[in-house]
């Protein structure tokens, strides 16, 4: 007789499994709780956090509240007031609908719920421990709901191991609330951490007000409205003029029917339209609101409800693209047409006015690093000595190991530069194409590493110092990593609020737009910590410094400068990859060329 192996999981275990899908970190709980408050019709939402949300998440709203029976039922899985049948999934007007958030959060925390419906004379207070309701008592309170989530993940220690620093977790929660605030300008939001204001919006209905709170007033002033209506698809929102761009996608916000979403179709439409008019390898700052009939979008794709699928994604792509292009053209951003034929200079001569390779008063004398490395206090790295090969006296010998790549680099003969981006060189075995930016980035990174490990980075004092104001997420990261920036030559101090005083910069950046470079570095590190889920460390700051200090794609170089760059690359420990892991050199062997020309 066979043995029955399939069994129904108990409610507690099922809730713990659901919590793993819905509640990944404090920000996940914050998102679900704030969305519930919005669905309850709240016009004021106050969020208090301790230790980035690990120790405490307290949310208070003035929404419609719940009756005693509804409050009890809301803590059961798949209990919801927002849908009744499966057909309702294609006519959603609320942010939540799964009925999993509250029981999932309550199963991995010490949970308290205070709520009162307007029709009731008193409210109800429920205490929940590990998903089990321990007490239900009557309480006096105004109409609305207050939820306390304490000691999140206390009973799932494995989940705790995946959490980042307090500042990183706080930043994620602030990002989530900021997105919801942008989608609901008529709602007042306040986020407090350790009693200090982390984010606040007025809730006065003005669309730019929450964007100013999230991105800063300086950026908000550069936003222009976008608008397009194709009948079924309506696109509204804002995009910054091309002088305000970002090195990553951290400032691309998308909303569908009031819901913050991620969607490749929409992202591609924005970036494609933006780049068609301003062909720059950076990303736009934009908040795009799309309205479509509920039956034309599926929001039931993922438990977090951030991914959606459109029934007619081509129409959505066209609407977003046209909205962006029309807005930029209307405000005078005119596309330019350039010759499509690339030029390669093989003569060693150039008609360009070459940019200084390091931006420190470099003279075109063939020695690229004399000025910058003297300012950095770094000695020129000497090539590694070649180890003598041992002779083996036997009939069968192992094949000789390839010559070190660094050694081969010294034999490269520069022929010219392709599109002011790639160095073309003749090699003993064929042809090499070198990405000048990533090659220079590797050189600078290793030089900075040596300098940091010896005497620290050389800095140049600013007189007078420069004051900058960042958005909240950026300010939190910079405040946590000022010591790492100092190790790379930046002397930055907190000035109050989201402002900082820059007292010194790396000496090598004295003739470069250092303020914009600092902003770009912070933004890139924020984007790295959020989208790549990496903990920002000192080495990440160093890598970002090297990237910003390196010669860029599009910078014309002389034959002497390119030759010197290859010489410096040959002296590095890792001439194969840049610090980000991108290849530096691509080679084409003579045998491959002969095959291509059918000579083989």
pLDDT digits (tens, 9 = 90+) for 297-350: 887 655 555 678 888 888 999 999 999 988 887 775 544 333 333 443 433 333
- pLDDT of 356 over the 50 cut: no
- Per the document, the length of the chain is 600
- pLDDT of 285 over the 90 cut: yes
Residues 421-450 have a mean pLDDT of 89
Question: What is the residue-wise DSSP string for 493-513?
Answer: EEEETTEEEEEEEEGGGTTS-
- pLDDT of 367 over the 90 cut: no
Residues 224-248 have a mean pLDDT of 89
Token pair of 152 as six digits: 């999140």
Helix spans in 312-430 (H)? 313-330, 370-376, 405-409
- What count of Cα atoms within 13 Å lies in the side-chain half-sphere of residue 540? 18
Please state, in angstroms and rounded to a whole number, the distance separating the CA atoms of residues 304 and 32. 9
- pLDDT of 11 over the 80 cut: no
Q: Report residue 589's pLDDT band, with 50, 70 and 90 as the boundaries.
A: confident
Coil, strand or helix at 250: coil
pLDDT, residue 90, reads 54
Q: Report residue 586's pLDDT band, with 50, 70 and 90 as the boundaries.
A: confident
Q: Between residues 572 and 19, which one has the greater pLDDT? A: 572
- pLDDT of 555 over the 60 cut: yes
pLDDT digits (tens, 9 = 90+) for 36-77: 999 999 999 999 999 999 999 999 999 999 999 989 988 886
Which of 120, 10, 15 minimizes the C-alpha distance to 64? 120
CB atoms closer than 10 angstroms to residue 38: 21
Contact yes or no for 82/94 (Cβ under 8 A)? yes
Q: Between residues 341 and 177, which one has the greater pLDDT? A: 177
pLDDT, residue 62, reads 97
Question: What is the residue-wise DSSP string for 63-124?
Answer: S----HHHHHHHTSTT--SS-SSGGGGGS--SS--SS-HHHHHHTTSEEEEEEE-TTSSSEE
Question: What is the residue-wise DSSP string for 3-16?
Answer: PP---PPPHHHHHH
- Pairing between strand 44-50 and 188-193? parallel
pLDDT, residue 400, reads 44
Q: Between residues 342 and 265, which one has the greater pLDDT? A: 265
pLDDT, residue 306, reads 67
Cis, peptide link before residue 315, omega less than 30° from 0: no
- pLDDT of 166 over the 90 cut: yes
pLDDT, residue 354, reads 31
Residues 82-110 have a mean pLDDT of 66
Please state, in angstroms and rounded to a whole number, the distance separating the CA atoms of residues 456 and 572. 19
Which of 487, 490, 482 minimizes the C-alpha distance to 453? 487
Q: What is the dihedral of CA 375, 376, 380, 384, to 10 degrees?
A: -170
CB atoms closer than 10 angstroms to residue 143: 15
Coil, strand or helix at 44: strand
pTM over 0.85: no
Q: Between residues 387 and 254, which one has the greater pLDDT? A: 254
Q: Specify the range with the lowest mean pLDDT, choosing from 40-44, 94-98, 166-170, 335-339.
A: 335-339
Q: Where are the chain's structural domains?
A: 11-204, 222-330, 342-381+403-600
pLDDT digits (tens, 9 = 90+) for 286-295: 999 999 988 8
Q: Specify the range with the lowest mean pLDDT, choosing from 89-98, 146-155, 518-527, 561-570.
A: 89-98
Q: Report residue 278's pLDDT band, with 50, 70 and 90 as the boundaries.
A: low
pLDDT digits (tens, 9 = 90+) for 249-263: 989 999 999 888 888
pLDDT digits (tens, 9 = 90+) for 482-527: 888 887 788 999 998 899 999 999 887 888 889 998 998 898 888 8
- pLDDT of 138 over the 70 cut: yes
Contact yes or no for 226/269 (Cβ under 8 A)? no
CA distances from 364 to 150, 359, 379, 393, 557 (A): 63, 12, 20, 51, 10
Please state, in angstroms and rounded to a whole number, the distance separating the CA atoms of residues 199 and 227. 28
pLDDT, residue 208, reads 93
Residues 441-446 have a mean pLDDT of 88
pLDDT, residue 343, reads 40
Mean pLDDT, the chain, rounded, equals: 80
DSSP state of 279: -
Q: What are all long-range contacts of 434-437, with beta carbons under 8 Å and residues at least 24 apart?
A: 434/566, 434/569, 434/584, 434/585, 434/586, 435/553, 435/582, 435/583, 435/584, 435/585, 436/551, 436/553, 436/555, 436/557, 436/562, 436/565, 437/550, 437/551, 437/552, 437/553
Architecture of domain 222-330: 2-Layer Sandwich (3.30)
pLDDT, residue 501, reads 95
Token pair of 40 as six digits: 């309850």
- pLDDT of 233 over the 60 cut: yes
Question: What is the residue-wise DSSP string for 429-470?
Answer: TEEEEEEHHHHHHHHHHHHHHHHHHHT---EEEEEEEEEEE-
CATH 3.40.50.300 fits 11-204, yes or no: no
pLDDT, residue 395, reads 42
Give percent of the chain above pLDDT 90.
Answer: 42
pLDDT, residue 254, reads 96
pLDDT, residue 537, reads 64
- pLDDT of 365 over the 50 cut: no
Q: Which value, in Å, is the radius of gyration of the alpha carbons in the chain? A: 29
CB atoms closer than 10 angstroms to residue 136: 13
Provide the CATH topology of domain 342-381+403-600: formyl-coa transferase, domain 3 (3.30.1540)
Residues 247-276 have a mean pLDDT of 89
């Amino acid at each position: 007789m066979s043995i029955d192996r399939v069994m129904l999981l108990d409610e507690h275990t099922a809730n713990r499994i659901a919590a793993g899908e819905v509640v990944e970190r404090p920000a996940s709980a914050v998102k679900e709780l704030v969305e519930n408050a919005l669905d309850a019709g709240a016009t004021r939402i106050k969020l208090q956090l301790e230790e980035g949300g690990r120790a405490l998440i307290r949310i208070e709203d003035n929404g419609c509240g719940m009756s005693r029976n509804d409050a009890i039922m809301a803590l059961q899985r798949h209990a919801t007031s927002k849908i009744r049948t499966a057909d309702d999934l294609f006519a959603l007007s609320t942010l939540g609908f799964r009925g999993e958030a509250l029981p999932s959060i309550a199963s991995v925390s010490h949970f308290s719920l205070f709520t009162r419906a307007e029709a009731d004379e008193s409210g109800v207070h429920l205490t929940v421990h590990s998903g089990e309701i321990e007490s239900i008592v009557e309480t006096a309170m105004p109409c609305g709901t207050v939820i306390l989530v304490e000691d999140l993940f206390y009973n799932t220690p494995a989940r705790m191991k995946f959490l980042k620093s307090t500042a990183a977790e706080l930043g994620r929660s602030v990002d989530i609330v900021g997105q919801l605030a942008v989608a609901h300008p008529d709602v007042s939001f306040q986020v407090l951490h350790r009693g200090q204001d982390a984010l606040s919006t007025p809730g006065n209905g003005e669309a730019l007000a929450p964007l100013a709170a999230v991105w800063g007033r300086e950026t908000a002033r550069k936003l222009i409205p976008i608008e397009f209506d194709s009948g079924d698809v309506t696109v509204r929102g804002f995009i910054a003029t091309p002088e305000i761009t970002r090195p990553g996608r951290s400032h691309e916000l998308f909303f569908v029917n009031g819901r913050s979403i991620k969607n490749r179709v929409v992202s591609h439409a924005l970036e494609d339209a933006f780049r068609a008019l301003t062909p720059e390898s950076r990303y736009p700052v934009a908040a795009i609101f799309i309205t479509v009939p509920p039956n034309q979008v599926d929001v039931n794709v993922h438990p977090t409800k951030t991914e959606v699928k459109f029934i007619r994604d081509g129409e959505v792509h066209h609407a977003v693209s046209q909205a962006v292009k029309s807005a930029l053209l209307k405000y005078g951003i005119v596309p330019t047409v350039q010759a499509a034929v690339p030029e390669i200079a093989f003569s060693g001569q150039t008609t360009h006015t070459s940019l200084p390779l390091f931006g420190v008063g470099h003279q075109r004398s063939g020695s690229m690093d004399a000025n910058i490395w003297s300012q950095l206090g770094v000695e020129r790295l000497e090539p590694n000595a070649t180890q003598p090969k041992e002779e083996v006296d036997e009939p069968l010998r192992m094949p000789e190991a390839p010559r070190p790549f660094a050694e081969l680099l010294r034999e490269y003969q520069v022929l010219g530069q392709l599109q002011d981006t790639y160095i073309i060189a003749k090699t003993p075995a064929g042809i090499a194409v070198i990405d000048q930016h990533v090659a220079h980035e590797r050189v600078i990174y290793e030089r900075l590493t040596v300098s940091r490990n010896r005497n620290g980075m050389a800095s140049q004092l600013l007189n007078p110092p420069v004051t900058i104001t960042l958005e909240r997420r950026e300010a939190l990261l910079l405040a946590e990593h000022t010591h790492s920036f100092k190790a790379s030559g930046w002397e930055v101090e907190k000035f109050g609020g989201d402002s900082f005083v820059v007292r010194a910069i790396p000496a090598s950046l004295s003739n470069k737009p250092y303020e914009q470079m600092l902003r770009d570095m912070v933004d890139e590190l924020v984007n790295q910590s959020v989208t790549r889920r990496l903990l920002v460390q000192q080495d990440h700051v160093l890598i970002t410094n090297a990237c910003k200090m390196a010669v860029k794609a599009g910078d014309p170089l002389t034959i002497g400068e390119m030759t010197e760059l290859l010489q410096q690359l040959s002296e590095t420990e890792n001439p194969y990859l840049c610090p980000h892991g991108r290849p530096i050199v691509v080679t084409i062997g003579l045998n491959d060329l002969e095959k291509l020309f059918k000579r083989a």
